[in-house]
Structure 1
Amino acid sequence: MDQKNGQRANADWVIRSVQPGGAGVQSFHYAGSMRHGLPGNTLVLHPDELHDGMAGTDAGFRYRMAYVDPSLIQNVLGGEPLPFIAGGLSSDPRLFQASEAFVQAVDFSLETLEEQDALYDLAMALRAVGGSPRGRKRLDYRAAERARAFILEHLHTCITLEMLEHASGRERWSLSRDFRTLYGTSPYRFVTLRRLDRFRALVLEGFTLVDAALVAGFHDQSHMTRHFTRCYGVPPMRWLERLRAAR
C-alpha cells in the first residue's frame, strides 16, 4: 500500500461489512470523494485504489473485514476484467450476503468446499453489482496466470518484466496491461506485496528482521523497511510491537 495524504492502496480486494445493529458510521476517502458506510452496507475496495478509513461520528463504528486475493476471483471469472464497484460502497443485499462467509471467518474457519462455494458466490455478486467490467476486452488470462505463478515461485530472485515475458509467452507490455486488468495491480506491486506477506509470516515464525527480509526476496533490511513503511504506515518493528501488545 502506498501512502498519499494518509491514504493507502492494497493489492488485494478489501471487503468490509458494516454490521447490522452496529453503531456509528464508517467514513473513508475513495476515488476522489468521501464515502460513508452504514449498517448493512458492504465496502468493496478495488485493488490498488487509494483509500483510508475513520469513524464518521463520535459514536465510533463496528465492521468486519476480509482481504481476498484477486486470483481467487479470477479462478471463477476465468479471465474477465475484475469487477469494479463504483464508489467502493454498495447497499445491494446480494453483495452483503455473498461477503458474509469471509467477514465472519475470523470466528469460524471455512471448510475447503465451503470456501470454494463462497468464492463463487462472491465473484458472481461482484460481477452482478459491478455491472459492465472496465478494461480491455481481449485479455490473455492464461499468460497472466503463468506470470503470476512464476512470480510466486521466484519471489527470492530479482524478477524482471523480461523474465515474465519468457515465462508467460506474452509480449511484455501486453502482459503488463493484462495483469493490471485481471488482478487489479501491476506486476511489480504484486511482487512487493507478496514479499511483504512472506516477510511478515517469517517474522511471526521467529526469524530476525534481517533474515526474514533476505529470505522474502528483499535486497536488505533497509529495502524491506522502505516498502513495509509505505505499505502499512509504520516501520516493521513498530508493527511487531503493536502485534505483541495486542496479544
Structure 2
Amino acid sequence: MTDEIAAADAAGLERSCSSGATAGGSARGAPDGSARGAPDGIIQAPSSRGIERIEARFHGNGFEPHRHDTYAIGLTLSGVQTFQYRGAARASLPGNVIVLHPDEVHDGAAGTDDGLRYRMLYLPPERLIEAAGGSRGLPFVPDPIIADAGFRQCLTEALDDLEAEPQDLLLDDLIGRIATSLWHHADGKGSVAGTPRAQQAVLRCRDYLQANSERVVSSEELEEVSGFDRYTTARQFRKLLGTSPHRYLVMRRLDRAKVLLSQGGSLADIAADTGFADQAHFTRHFKKTFGMTPGRWMALRRSA
C-alpha cells in the first residue's frame, strides 16, 4: 500500500476530513487508484491512542462546514480538493500535505468531476503535548496546504495500512516526526504549554470528562477537579487541548455515538445512551462536527 500512496502523490492530493467506517486497506476505484467510477464511501482504521485514520472517496460536495477537536492531517490520493478554511477558498493538488487546526471551521468538496480520494489522520492535541514532554503548547500552521517531502513521507507511513493498528514503537516515532513537522511549519505563535500545575489540572479535567461524558458535567465539578476557578479552568483547557471543556465533552459523546451507529443502534436510542437531549439534539451536533447527518455517515460507511 505504501507504493500505492507514493504513486498517488503524483496523481492527486487533497485536504480535509471526515470520520467513521469499517476497517480496510485498499479502496475500490479506477485502475489508476482514483475515485472515478467508484461510489462515495469512507473506510476507518482501528483507533490507536485516540488517533483516527480514514480513507474517503467523494464526488461533488463531501462535507458541509464543521469542525473537530483534533488536528486533521492528511494526503490526497487522487483528485483536487477545494475547501473553505479561515475565511479563504483553498485548493490542494497532488504532492501536498493538508493540516487543519483544532476547532477551525472548514468544508470540503471534489474540485473536478473525476472525484476525490484521500487519507487523513485525526491527531488529539494531547499527543503533541506528550511528544514535546510538556515543554510546548500547540503549534499553529497558518497555511493549510504544505509542500514538504519529508512530512509527506511520514504521513505515507502513518496512513499505509488501515487494516491494523500501528505497533507502539512505530506509533511513537510517527507522532514525534509529525510533531516536529508541525512545529517546523508553525508561525512561531503556538500556544504556551502553561505551568506543570495547570497542565496536570487540565489533564485531570480531561479524564473526568471522558469518564462522565454521558451526563451533564457542571462548572462546579470541574472547579473541584482542577483546583482553579471555572474561567481559569476553561482558559487553561483551551490553551492546552485546543478546545473548550464543553466541546470536548460533546466530542466524546459523539465518539461513542459513532461506535453505536456502526453496531446498528437506532438514532433515538443512541441519543439517549450518549447523553443528548433527544434525537434532534444528537443529529444537530453530529452534523456540526462531521459535516453530514448520521444517516449519510452510515450510508457512506456501508458503501466503502
- TM-score of the two chains, using structure 1 as the length reference: 0.86
1:27 and 1:223, CA in 2 relative to 1: closer, same or farther beyond 3 A? closer
The answer as to 2:30 corresponding to 1:30 is no
Corresponding residue number in structure 1 for 2:265: 207
Relative distance call for 1:38 and 1:121 in structure 2 (3 A) is same
* Distance change (3 Å), C-alpha of 1:17 and 1:215: same
C-alpha displacement at 1:83, in angstroms?
A: 0.8
Considering fraction of residues, name the structure with more helix: 1
Any unmatched runs of 5+ in structure 1? none
2:21 aligns with none
1:87, distance to aligned residue in structure 2 (A): 2.3
Query: Which segment drifts farther, 86-95 or 36-45?
Result: 86-95
1:28 Cα deviation from its structure 2 partner? 1.5
Unmatched tracts of structure 2, length 5 or more: 1-16, 18-62
Contact 2:71 2:124 in 1 (8 A): yes
| Residues 1:120 and 1:56: Cα distance change in structure 2 (over 3 Å) | same
Report the counterpart of residue 41 of structure 1 in structure 2.
96
Alignment counterpart, residue 281 of structure 2, candidates 223, 226, 229: 223
Equivalent position of 2:105 in the other structure: 50
1:150-169 to 2 correspondences below 5 Å: 150-169=208-227
Change (3 A) 1:86 1:213: same
**Counterparts of 2:120 and 2:205, CA distance in 1:** 29
CA distance in 1, matches of 2:65, 2:266: 29
- Equivalent pairs counted in the alignment come to 240
Q: Does 1:196 align with 2:250?
A: no
Partners of 1:153 and 1:49 lie apart in 2 by 26
The CA distance in 1 between the partners of 2:146 and 2:291, in whole Å, is 27
Native 8 Å contact 2:139 2:191 kept in 1: no
- Partners of 1:203 and 1:6 in 2: CA distance: 20
CA contact (8 A) 1:31 1:87 kept: no
- C-alpha spacing 1:137/1:184, structure 2 compared with 1 (3 Å): closer
Q: 1:97 to 1:161 in 2, by over 3 A?
A: farther
Identity of aligned residues (%): 35
Aligned counterpart, 2:72: 14
1:236 aligned onto 2:294: yes
Say if 1:81 and 1:133, in contact at 8 Å, map to a contact too.
no
Quick check: 1:117 aligned with 2:183? Answer: no
Higher relative contact order (CA 8 A, sep 6+): 2
Inter-CA distance 100–168: structure 2 relative to 1 (3 Å threshold) = farther
Does the 8 Å contact 1:12/1:46 carry over to 2? Answer: yes
How far apart, in 1, do the equivalents of 2:261 and 2:161 lie? 24
Deviates more, 1:97-106 or 1:120-129: 97-106
Matched residue of 2:143: which SS? helix
1:83/1:176 CA distance change after superposition, 3 Å: same
Q: Establish whether residue 74 from structure 1 lines up as the match of residue 132 from structure 2.
A: no
Q: Report the CA distance between 1:107 and its aligned residue.
A: 4.9
What is the rounded CA distance, in whole Å, between the counterparts of 1:223 and 1:57 in structure 2?
34
Contact 1:80 1:182 in 2 (8 A): no
| Deviation (angstroms), 1:227 | 1.3
Change (3 A) 1:61 1:6: closer
One-letter code aligned to 1:44: V
Q: Does 1:141 align with 2:202?
A: no
Higher strand share: 2
- Which amino acid in the other structure matches residue 151 of structure 2? L
Q: Equivalents in 1 of 2:232, 2:206: separation in Å? A: 14
Alpha-carbon RMSD: 2.4
Normalised by the size of structure 2, how large is the TM-score? Answer: 0.71
Distance of 1:225 and 1:87 partners within structure 2: 31
